[in-house]
Structure 1
Amino acid sequence: MTSPGRIIGITVGALAILGIGVYGPAMLLGPLPDVTVRPAAAAAAPAEVPALTLPETGASAIAVVGDDGTAETIATAGDPAAVPIGGAAKLVTLLVTLDSLPLPADGPGPAIPIGPEDYVDYLRYSGEGSRAVQVSPGETWTERDVVRAILLASSNNHADTLVRWAFGSPDAYVEAANAWLAEQGFTATRVDDATGLSGDNVGTADELARLASLVLADDQLAAMLDDPEAAPPGARVVPDLVGRADDGAVRAITRSFTDQAALSYVFTTELPAVEGVEGLRRITGAMLLMPDYETLDPAVTAAVDSAAAASAPVTVIAEGTPYARVVAPWGDQAELVASVSRTDAAWGSAPGEVSVTVDDFSTAPEGREVGRVSVATATGELASPLRLTGDINDPGPVWRLTNPATVIGAFLAGQAS
């Protein structure tokens, strides 16, 4: 019979063997817990951010045109709802037609015959005092000439002529145009005719400022606005009635007056160059429901001047700025700082919310990028990797052997993930 002492001895020996053979390796080789992330104080916003100035009268918006031709709205003011847009509806007329029947890179494009209906339109609009460019039955206008008459002279009779030629009838055009607007993401802008004379042509200043960027993205339309007098040999003479001599560097894309919409003005300009910013810096703007030019003109000047000031670059993320601190259970700790600087135009608003994401890790050397900081701005998000300012080392065998619960917890957490 085995004595109790012998049994105890065997048990103690077995436990010792297990401790040496199992516990020791498990503690020494097992995974370590991840570091804890503690947010740092948010970096200070620029002390002064120039404001964007828009009139409270009517409805206004300014957008920045990106390198890809799309526009990002940076400021709105006044009525945010859809309002009558007047002759700005002709921009939709042009964009929808040229989307399906584009002008050739060179040459006049297809011939469009002028019939009795086109001539009656000319007489009617002329008699009403609406903008019209003379046509006569039997004439033939090229697509390019008709487009120039609509864009530069805001000719109402040519708008109707174009959509009858392209879509068969004004009603068919309206259906196609509203479908196109929906496809392009314009949820508030709707047209009721090709001219803009109906008060049911509505839109927001925000959407018109963005719609203007699509006009500029069309090389043919942009060239006409840039040099209104340039035309192929034999082209018809079309006056530039939309542009104004006292607009300076601002180019009117559309300018009209109707009883329902009052003054509608959509424009673009290239902002002056500033140090530290490369490439073209273009904005588009829309001012709707303006009562008169005494209100409109100073509002446009103030908006453009304020946009120029607000376009100066500010540092949104500064290299070396701490955005978080990581702390290991065994005491090692280090700051996470931005690896690179990021600058952007403030466009009238201070940088927005700061977001920090950090990878799961237990140990890492100084300088390793283990996370990311992103900051919201008026035109999108800017981001920088985050790097460690110090080493997070393995704690060594003593800490591992004396903290079994922490090591086992890390093992179990790894099995569950």
Structure 2
Amino acid sequence: MTESLDRDARRRVYRRRRIAVFGSLAVVIALVTSGGVYTANTLGAPIPAAAPVVTDPAPVAAAAQPLSLPGFGSYAVGAVGFDGLLAAGNEATPMATASITKVITALVVLEAHPIAAGEGGPEITYTEADVDIYWDMVAQNGSVAPVEAGATLSLRESLAAMLLPSGNNYSISIVNWAFGSTDAFLERARAWLAEQGLANTQIADSSGLSLANVSTAADLVRLGELALADPVVAELVATPAVDVPELGTLKNGNKLLGSHGVDGIKTGTTDDAANLLFSADVPVGSSSVTVVGVLLGGVTHNVLNDAIAALLDSIAPGFHEVTPLEADQALAEYATPWGETARARTADGASVIVWSDTPVDVEVRADPVTVASRGQQVGTAIVHAGSQEISVPLVLDAALEDPGTWWRLANPGALDAPVAQSGSE
């Protein structure tokens, strides 16, 4: 009896022990399972991005440049690579262009018969018909350059005879050779003017002798830029004189050439007015700016040239070089929640040439960053100056590394935090 009771007691103790052991095991398994999920979720969660605190450089602007403006006529001045006009007066008024028309003639002829660099181009043989054209121009009191029947000139030499001494006869002979007739040339020239957007320019002949050749100062600035873009025309109009064996020395009629930076382009004279389409090279720092302008309606060429010289001398100091960004300049700062810091710095400096009081501003675009290596691009600094834009990469000066396991486990709330907004100073 006693032995039976002892066996029952031992069974009850064994059962209690099994329940305790397996219950404890279940609790351990539950805890391990729950902790594993927590650990996995925490270690796999994305880390928060560090937002940049941006330092925006202050805009730079000089005082407006005072100008010595002509007190007469119609004028406009622009600069290659710069939008709009630097100076203008009556620039939309159509006026007779006279021999400035020959610039159109040269560009249209060269479009049809281009001349390779360093070459003279196709040859033109002149005949008695060209001599007759010469005498016809003399009778009309037009400017001429000498011509001989049987002489053969290159197209480059022929254009020199048209542009430098402003030979009306050569403008006619050249277009007869190039297009077969003046009418055929005019048809192409008018289409060319439309293609170039020179809507206020009218052409009636190849020489400019007719007063029906008219344009506006604003259009002529654009024409001057087109002339300088053509290497043959640009070289010829900048040449003070050229020796042509069959013709002798051809002198440029532009008396301003070589002074006040002037290196072109074309005179134009009517019975009532002196005109000049001009270009000038203006040194600015280690570079230069090409100014293109026109003045129409001078009483004489001396009066006209004095006004242009004064205008150019007042324009030149208005160009200045601005350096809004230095290389390695810090423009944004980063600080991660786990204590690392870095700066976004400019990979290069930037300088820009501006006119007068054109403001120069820097726009800083820096991206939020999580993990990044030193030298990694994290944004861009954009220099704005009128229509000019210069982009400079922003790179980190230190690495932003992963915070690691312990920080993740200790800061689960930070992993769910929204990305901070960037600020500026």
**Cα distance change, pair 235–131 in 1 and its aligned pair in 2 (3 A):** closer
Once the two structures are superposed, the pairs formed by residues 42-61 of structure 1 within 5 Å of their partners are 42-45=57-60, 55=70, 58-61=74-77
Q: Determine the C-alpha separation between the residues in 2 that align with 1:284 and 1:383.
A: 26
Once the two structures are superposed, the pairs formed by residues 131-142 of structure 1 within 5 Å of their partners are 131-133=143-145, 135=147, 138=149, 140=151, 142=153
Alignment of 1:174 onto 2:186: yes
Q: CA deviation at 1:240?
A: 2.8
Of 254, 260, 274, which residue of structure 2 is paired with 1:242? 254
- Please name the residue that 2:276 is paired with: 265
Secondary structure in structure 2 of the residue aligned to 1:346: strand
- Between stretches 302-311 and 158-167, larger displacement belongs to 302-311
Q: CA deviation at 1:179?
A: 3.4
Of 298, 301, 305, which residue of structure 2 is paired with 1:297? 305
Q: CA deviation at 1:64?
A: 3.6
**Cα distance change, pair 24–184 in 1 and its aligned pair in 2 (3 A):** farther
> Structure 1, residues 130-176: CA drift from partner, whole Å, max 9, x if none?
3233557x454523443122111222232122112111222322232
Alignment of 1:83 onto 2:94: yes
> Quick check: 1:191–1:201 contact (8 Å CA) kept in 2?
yes
- Between stretches 157-166 and 333-342, larger displacement belongs to 333-342
- Please name the residue that 1:415 is paired with: none
Of 146, 159, 164, which residue of structure 1 is paired with 2:158? 146
- Please name the residue that 1:283 is paired with: 290
Q: CA deviation at 1:313?
A: 2.7
Q: CA deviation at 1:372?
A: 1.2
5+ long unaligned stretches in structure 2: 1-23, 421-425
> Quick check: 1:97–1:166 contact (8 Å CA) kept in 2?
yes
**Cα distance change, pair 282–17 in 1 and its aligned pair in 2 (3 A):** same
Q: CA deviation at 1:370?
A: 1.4
Q: CA deviation at 1:384?
A: 2.0
- Please name the residue that 1:5 is paired with: none
In percent, how many aligned pairs have the same letter?
Answer: 29
- Please name the residue that 2:381 is paired with: 373
Secondary structure in structure 2 of the residue aligned to 1:241: coil
Alignment of 1:309 onto 2:309: no
Q: Which amino acid aligns with 1:62?
A: G
- Please name the residue that 2:36 is paired with: 21
Q: Which amino acid aligns with 2:126?
A: P
**Cα distance change, pair 80–229 in 1 and its aligned pair in 2 (3 A):** closer
Alignment of 1:30 onto 2:45: yes
> Quick check: 1:46–1:315 contact (8 Å CA) kept in 2?
no
Q: Which amino acid aligns with 2:192?
A: W
Alignment of 1:40 onto 2:55: yes
**Cα distance change, pair 269–38 in 1 and its aligned pair in 2 (3 A):** same
Alignment of 1:156 onto 2:164: no
Secondary structure in structure 2 of the residue aligned to 1:132: coil
> Quick check: 1:323–1:336 contact (8 Å CA) kept in 2?
yes
Q: Determine the C-alpha separation between the residues in 1 that align with 2:70 and 2:25.
A: 92
Secondary structure in structure 2 of the residue aligned to 1:304: helix
**Number of residue pairs the alignment of both structures matches:** 390
Q: CA deviation at 1:373?
A: 0.8
Q: Which amino acid aligns with 1:254?
A: K
Q: CA deviation at 1:401?
A: 1.0
**Cα distance change, pair 135–366 in 1 and its aligned pair in 2 (3 A):** closer
Q: Determine the C-alpha separation between the residues in 1 that align with 2:417 and 2:212.
A: 70
- Please name the residue that 1:98 is paired with: 110
- Please name the residue that 2:123 is paired with: 110
Q: Determine the C-alpha separation between the residues in 1 that align with 2:133 and 2:275.
A: 23
- Between stretches 150-159 and 73-82, larger displacement belongs to 73-82
Bigger radius of gyration, 1 or 2?
Answer: 2
Q: CA deviation at 1:252?
A: 3.7
> Quick check: 2:275–2:304 contact (8 Å CA) kept in 1?
no
Q: Which amino acid aligns with 2:114?
A: P
Q: Determine the C-alpha separation between the residues in 1 that align with 2:216 and 2:65.
A: 25
Once the two structures are superposed, the pairs formed by residues 182-221 of structure 1 within 5 Å of their partners are 182-183=194-195, 189=201, 191-198=203-210, 201-203=213-215, 205=217, 208-221=220-233
Q: Determine the C-alpha separation between the residues in 1 that align with 2:408 and 2:182.
A: 84
- Please name the residue that 1:126 is paired with: 138
> Quick check: 1:250–1:267 contact (8 Å CA) kept in 2?
yes
Q: Which amino acid aligns with 1:315?
A: T
Secondary structure in structure 2 of the residue aligned to 1:251: strand
Q: Which amino acid aligns with 1:233?
A: P
> Structure 1, residues 185-208: CA drift from partner, whole Å, max 9, x if none?
656655343223455545554554
Q: Determine the C-alpha separation between the residues in 1 that align with 2:26 and 2:389.
A: 64
Q: Determine the C-alpha separation between the residues in 2 that align with 1:379 and 1:154.
A: 37
> Structure 1, residues 212-254: CA drift from partner, whole Å, max 9, x if none?
3444454444443444433343345534323457956523410
Of 263, 266, 287, which residue of structure 2 is paired with 1:254? 266
Q: Which amino acid aligns with 2:58?
A: A
> Structure 1, residues 16-51: CA drift from partner, whole Å, max 9, x if none?
666533443233233234433454333341555756
5+ long unaligned stretches in structure 1: 1-8, 66-70, 411-417
**Cα distance change, pair 326–311 in 1 and its aligned pair in 2 (3 A):** same
> Quick check: 1:73–1:210 contact (8 Å CA) kept in 2?
no
Q: CA deviation at 1:385?
A: 1.9
> Quick check: 1:365–1:392 contact (8 Å CA) kept in 2?
yes
> Quick check: 2:362–2:384 contact (8 Å CA) kept in 1?
yes
TM-score (ref. length: structure 1):
0.74
Secondary structure in structure 1 of the residue aligned to 2:360: coil
Q: Which amino acid aligns with 2:173?
A: T
Of 389, 397, 412, which residue of structure 1 is paired with 2:408? 397
Q: Determine the C-alpha separation between the residues in 2 that align with 1:15 and 1:183.
A: 82
- Between stretches 177-186 and 247-256, larger displacement belongs to 177-186
TM-score (ref. length: structure 2):
0.73
